[in-house]
Amino acid sequence: MSHEAGWAHAPGALRGPAWLQPPADPNALVQHLWSQTAHKVDGELHVGGLALPELVADVNTPAYVLDEDDFRSRARAFRDAFAAYDVFYAGKAFLCTAVARWVQEEGLCLDVCSNGELTVALRAGFDPARIGYHGNNKTLMELRRAVAAGVGRIVVDSFDEIERLASITADGLSTRVMVRVTAGVEAHTHEYIATAHEDQKFGFSISNGQAFEAVRRVLATPGLELLGLHSHIGSQIFDSSGFEVAARRVLALQARVSDELGVALPEMDLGGGFGIAYTTQDDPSDPAQLATEMSKIVEHECRALGIPEPRLSIEPGRAIVGPAMCTVYTVGTVKDVQLDGGAVRTYVSVDGGMSDNIRTALYDADYSCTLASRDSAAPPVLSRVVGKHCEAGDIVVKDEFLPGDLRSGDLLAVPGTGAYCRSMASNYNHALRPPVVAVRDGVARVVVRRETEDDLLATDMGDQ
């Protein structure tokens, strides 16, 4: 349903979606949307023991603020809840050298899906044996590097890739692989982040026999050690029903492999995609609940099929880094726009936008935000936070109640921006990508610096 469905366009008033209500205290945080150390003091947002106005006085805006304690705490929560599993942090959500080191220090494995991500992981000193390598179109060069580095597993995604690996292992090398399968599950999420239905680019279909054939070819290829099957149903998933259907179909394939090929596959990866709270609409499960539900599903299906339970692995990324980061902006202009019927919408323009958070434009994603630099006694008004780029779709927060006295120079902070915002950031309109500032115990350190104009021009070869 459109967000504008059900809006009352009474003269002078505009109501947002039915779930969005004016806050009882417009200065308070909706705490479960924020990292664990986030709180307000006299209207100023503090994260990691630092006031954001003080922080941005040094690093400027826009800036991503990463709560290190929160990140580590969420990583440990998954590690402990899924103690019998291998937990791979999905680096595509956000990865830098410091984060890779935190992941290793907290006892997690690491999932990468590009040569660049592998480069960051190796630079961080991450144990290659604890790295998994994803990707639907890994080149021969990328595969050679992964094998040479000794990554713990390569997730095979096509018959072409099996042939490429065969050409590498023909020289006497070896590597461990998993076969990514498509379970035909329609995950309850945006179509662009649903990855287990048939009509998309990832994996081998179970239903048309390609998955079984891929297993057969891997088993017949010298130098390839087949660990098991991999399934990923999508992202921002809030219930276990999709995992249940996927596990049932993947384990049925595993039983067929055992029966017809005489091979008991020792492992299975259930993927990631666990949802987080971006707004009050979202109600994510905690890791302990997820672990209980997913373990019961696998145990039940294996018992029904009469096969041994494989060692399981999962790949949380967003669920660890998403809530650990917020983005802080400076307000530039505030504009009231009269709509048809006489209603007024307040547009709040900030100094970032779709170059630092493309998800609203790309996925119709919802976000929340708060005034981060002062208290306000003004009544809240329904506002839309927009960026400074030359696109009408350059929206950061579609609907939020913000103080009616919001003005130029105020700071706004958007929670839940740790996953994919910096990873997908661009130089659209030749914007400079913001820094990532890690905060902990009152100390800030820049882990990814702000780009400069020199960076922007470094690849511009001029008039040659």
Q: 287 among the known binding-site residues?
A: no
Q: 72 among the known binding-site residues?
A: no
pLDDT tens digits along 69-79: 999 999 999 99
**Least confidently predicted of 14-18, 54-58, 199-203, 442-446:** 14-18
**Tokens matching residue 37:** 């150390």
Which positions ≥6 away from 382 have C-beta within 8 Å?
A: 14, 15, 16, 20, 345, 346, 399, 400, 401
Q: How far is CA 86 from the centre of its chain?
A: 19
Domains with residue ranges and CATH for the chain: 31-62+325-417+434-453 (2.40.37.10), 69-321 (3.20.20.10)
Q: Give the bridge partners for 350, in sequence order.
A: 331
pLDDT tens digits along 235-244: 788 877 778 8
Average pLDDT of 96-123?
Answer: 98
Of 295, 273, 270, give the one whose Cα is nearest residue 284: 273
What predicted TM-score, i.e. pTM, was given to this entire model? 0.93
Q: Give the bridge partners for 137, in sequence order.
A: none
Q: 359 among the known binding-site residues?
A: yes
Average pLDDT in the chain: 91
Which positions ≥6 away from 257 have C-beta within 8 Å?
A: 212, 215, 263, 265
Q: 293 among the known binding-site residues?
A: no
The CA distance from 233 to 186, in Å, is: 8
Torsion of CA 153, 156, 162, 168, to 10 degrees: -30
Annotated active-site positions, please? 390
Q: 89 among the known binding-site residues?
A: no
HEC string of 315-343? Answer: CCCHHHHCCCEEEEEEEEEEEEEECCCCC
Of 414, 328, 326, give the one whose Cα is nearest residue 367: 414
pLDDT tens digits along 141-200: 999 999 999 999 999 999 999 999 999 999 899 999 999 999 877 654 444 344 445 566
**Least confidently predicted of 86-95, 136-145, 202-211, 314-323:** 202-211
Average pLDDT of 332-337?
Answer: 95
pLDDT tens digits along 270-308: 999 899 999 998 989 899 999 999 999 999 999 999 999
Q: 192 among the known binding-site residues?
A: no
**Tokens matching residue 296:** 């019961």
Residue 7 has pLDDT above 90, yes or no: no
Q: What band does 320 get if pLDDT is binned at 50, 70 and 90?
A: very high
**Tokens matching residue 233:** 């149903």
Please state, as a whole number, how many other Cβ atoms lie within 10 Å of the Cβ of residue 222: 9
Q: 318 among the known binding-site residues?
A: yes
The CA distance from 246 to 249, in Å, is: 5
99, 319, 416 from 94: Cα distances, Å: 8, 11, 12
Residue 212 has pLDDT above 60, yes or no: yes
Q: 363 among the known binding-site residues?
A: yes
CA atoms within 13 A on the CB side of 234: 27
Which positions ≥6 away from 296 have C-beta within 8 Å?
A: none
